[in-house]
Amino acid sequence: MARRQSSAPPEDTTPYTENIVDIDVTSEMEGSFLEYAYSVIYSRALPDARDGLKPVQRRILYMMSDMGLRPDRGHVKSARVVGEVMGKLHPHGDTAIYDAMVRMAQDFSLRLPLIDGHGNFGSLDDGPAAPRYTEARLAAAALTLTNHLDEDVVDFVPNYDNQLTQPDVLPAAFPNLLVNGATGIAVGMATNMAPHNLVEVISAARHLIAHPDATLDDIMRFVPGPDLPSGGRIVGLDGIRDAYATGRGSFKTRAKVEVEQLSARRTGLVVTELPYMVGPEKVIEKIKDAVNAKKLTGISDIVDLTDRKHGLRLVIELKNGFNPNAVLQQLYRYSPMEDSFGINNVTLVDGQPQTLGLVQLLTVYVNHRIDVVRRRTVFRLGKKKDRLHLVEGLLIAIVDIDEVIQIIRSSDEAAAARARLMSIYDLTEIQANYILELRLRQLTKYSRIELEKEQDELRREIAELEAILGSEERLRTLVSDELGEIAEEHGTPRRTVLLESEAVAPTVAADLALAAGKKGKAAPLALEIADDPCWAILTTSGQVARTSNQEPLAEAGPRAKHDVFTSVVKTSARGEIAAVTSLGRMLRLQVMDMPVLPPMSGLPNLAGGVPAKDFLTLLKGETLVAFVPLDEVLAIGTSQGVVKRVQPDYPLNREDWEVIALKDKDFVVNVVPAGADDAELVFVTSQAQLLKFGAAGVRPQGRTAGGMAGIKLAAGDRVLFFGAVQPQDEAAVVVTIAGTTGALPGTAPGTAKVTAFSEYPVKGRATAGVRAHRFLKGEDTLLLAWAGHGPAKAASAAGVARSLPQEHGRRDGSGVPLSQPVDVVGPAMAWADPAQTA
């Protein structure tokens, strides 16, 4: 077969002129690079300080809101969202859009996730499924970022092809940048911002709204430090303060680890929280590498028991003979169980990248939110005025609606009808057009009474909106109130514990030397904290913490929840104290293991404290009663009236033991130091019987003894309070609060009485004592009782101070009615200086 001949294309003979332009390569490269750098900084990598979002994140949320993907509607495929965003607003790769979308759905990346994901959105060790498999919709918190976009609250700008518009910034009803943090790498700069607790950040913002000249110290009372999604511990607060002051700083994050007895002969370290953005597989890999390299010793195995029900749980099994605390220090050094987080608060302010501190970040947000609410109010005011204008015109016409219809019917065209209506009824063109556009069936729902009612309501609303616009104070108050509603609706408790300094353990060598019988003190690690004096604190809500020094706990300053102290022990940072439980167990505590409260200005809010159940291993139904020193004789009182003084001969090789043998259904009410024989022990029962007797009548016993009869109880009676008072204490008082047995807790205030302790006579042990409170009609029990060094104070469960009677009453008299319920009563040291009762 003959081969086909291809014909050559005709030669182009059109004349042309060459135009070669000489361009300096250096200038061209500089200009092109700067243009690229600006694009990355403004349109890709850095978040806006107002809403805390990068452009791709803002476009995703706006498009999902425009698509109607609300929390009360079904999920849609992620690929559909990615396609809508890419086609309409973000002309970049689908991978970049999907990655940003995935991060906003991960609860381990964001403190308050903005997207509700359905499917595999990845983990710290694995990537997400493809967008065709996952589904998404907006989270409830994201709605607060996009609400009111239809009320002209922000400026809209054209999209990439000028066919659509998109918001230049979102209204942002909460400080998203501080709550969720941000990461981004631009050209020549980067940002790395830590997440914070929503309630704390909003509290700081509201304080800044009320006090625009607030200092950093004022703001840090509300925001003591970051609150990471993964929890963990933050060690060292100096770097955080530097970051809050200058916008740059760093801090260490540590895993939450507990020493558990895995078996009768095997101890292990159980990891339940890891540093921010550190996955368990990475930790396991690094630990195995360090063990193989002989950097880590004492570890026999590591098992990942993580599941959906119990969350993260890494069990690190230890070899026999190794100190768990020493092994833990090695793990912090050679594995990601300790990580560093560098804060670099670079963000866009008015289109310019700036490095801002905490106060500046909050100020930018507050100004933005005030502007949003002002523009929303102006928009609503205009809408109300337009509607009022129409209603007033309709009211004029509806009085003579038949004549209005006749005028319209007799007119040749709409323009003539409009002119006649405007002339006869003195209407504006807008009002006349509205009447002409009414359908006949709409006339059935209009009545003069209804229109006048709507007119009055519109005038009231207009007056309210104008008052807001006319008063800067009312406008700022409205913004603050809306922030408070957001905090109440979406706020969650703090997850990350703040530690002022790291608590380190003795070295393995020193522990082995002590185990071999050598005397001496264990050699500390290089990072050992100083043995400074401090206070160990237990609160009414079961929060455990210690102070960084022994300065007085000042009464001044705002109150916060859980700030009422029930037990305060004078100790040192490397000292030991004991905790006594309701089941008569005593647990040895290392003070340096307790979380340290941040530097205090006024009354501490225990932001760095932890619940006792997380700090101690308590049995089912067991509660923590008090902290006590280990070197003093203690007096123990139980609910069945048993009293015991116990000698401090506790075992040195055990961490917990019994200090009293309790009878069935009996429990410890209180434990107090009572080494002096001249001390007076006090029982107060629910039936208002008070017995005080000398401590000398109770001989000290061993820890296994069951005590002796303290107060004789009537049928159905129980001990409400037990304590010790020095007889020479002239300021000692007795506080009793009576109420009704059947009343729900916190519903009936009851009556309170404050009586001088000296008014009560000393009775013999094992007697019924004397009457301490006369019940009024409707009262049948004591709700609270306390005796000790005055003055006495009271508080609600939330830590709000309550008033007690100022005058001392008769010991056999009735109480004074309270205006509000009281949940806690105790000495002034619970609020002020513990030295008063030391």
Handedness of CA 484, 488, 489, 494 (dihedral sign): positive
Do 307 and 321 touch, CB atoms closer than 8 A?
no
Q: At 328, is the secondary structure helix, strand, or coil?
A: helix
Query: What are all long-range contacts of 412-415, with beta carbons under 8 Å and residues at least 24 apart?
Result: none
What's the CA gap between 83 and 62, in Å, rounded?
A: 14
Query: Considering only CA atoms, which of 199, 145, 153, 147 is closest in space to residue 172?
Result: 145
H or E stretch covering 584: none
Q: At 814, is the secondary structure helix, strand, or coil?
A: coil
What's the CA gap between 826 and 754, in Å, rounded?
A: 12
Token representation of residue 207: 């304080």
Do 327 and 291 touch, CB atoms closer than 8 A?
no
Task: Sort strands 543-546 and 533-539 into parallel, antiparallel or unpaired.
Answer: antiparallel
Question: What angle (nearest 5°) sits at the alpha carbon of residue 613, between those of residues 610 and 619?
Answer: 165
Sheet holding 656-658, edge to edge: 624-629, 576-581, 585-590, 656-658
Residues 6+ apart with CB under 8 A from 547: 534, 535, 537, 553, 596, 597, 600, 604
Query: Considering only CA atoms, which of 189, 323, 175, 300 is closest in space to residue 247?
Result: 189
Q: What are the E-state strand segments in 255-413?
A: 256-261, 267-273, 299-304, 314-318, 338-344, 346-349, 352-355
Judge whether 276 counts as a catalytic residue: no
Query: Considering only CA atoms, which of 572, 375, 600 is closest in space to residue 465?
Result: 375
Token representation of residue 667: 């429990």
Handedness of CA 123, 128, 134, 138 (dihedral sign): positive
| Number of DSSP helices (H) and strands (E) in the chain, helices first | 19, 41
Query: Considering only CA atoms, which of 568, 618, 614 is closest in space to residue 577?
Result: 568
What's the CA gap between 748 and 261, in Å, rounded?
A: 46
Residues 6+ apart with CB under 8 A from 697: 764, 765
Instruction: Transcribe 685-736 into DSSP letters.
Output: ETTSEEEEEEGGGS-EE-TT---EE-BPPPTT--EEEEEEE-TT-TTEEEEE
Exposed, middle or buried: residue 96 (CB in 10 Å: 0-12, 13-18, 19+)? middle
Q: At 292, is the secondary structure helix, strand, or coil?
A: helix
What's the one-letter identity of residue 532? D
- ω into 280 cis (within 30 of 0): no
Neighbours of 735 (CB within 10 A): 28
Do 165 and 156 touch, CB atoms closer than 8 A?
yes
Do 146 and 137 touch, CB atoms closer than 8 A?
no
What's the CA gap between 193 and 830, in Å, rounded?
A: 37
Measured distance between the N- and C-terminal CA atoms of the chain, rounded to whole angstroms = 115
Which alpha helices (H) appear in 342-471, and where do they start and end?
Answer: 358-398, 401-410, 414-425, 429-437, 448-470
Residues 6+ apart with CB under 8 A from 296: 287, 290, 327, 330, 331, 334, 335
DSSP state at residue 634: E
Query: Considering only CA atoms, which of 476, 601, 492 is closest in space to residue 206?
Result: 476
Selecting among 98, 133, 334, 760, the annotated active-site residue is 133
Spacing of C-alpha 519 from chain mean position? 46
Do 725 and 655 touch, CB atoms closer than 8 A?
no
Query: Which residues belong to the active site?
Result: 133
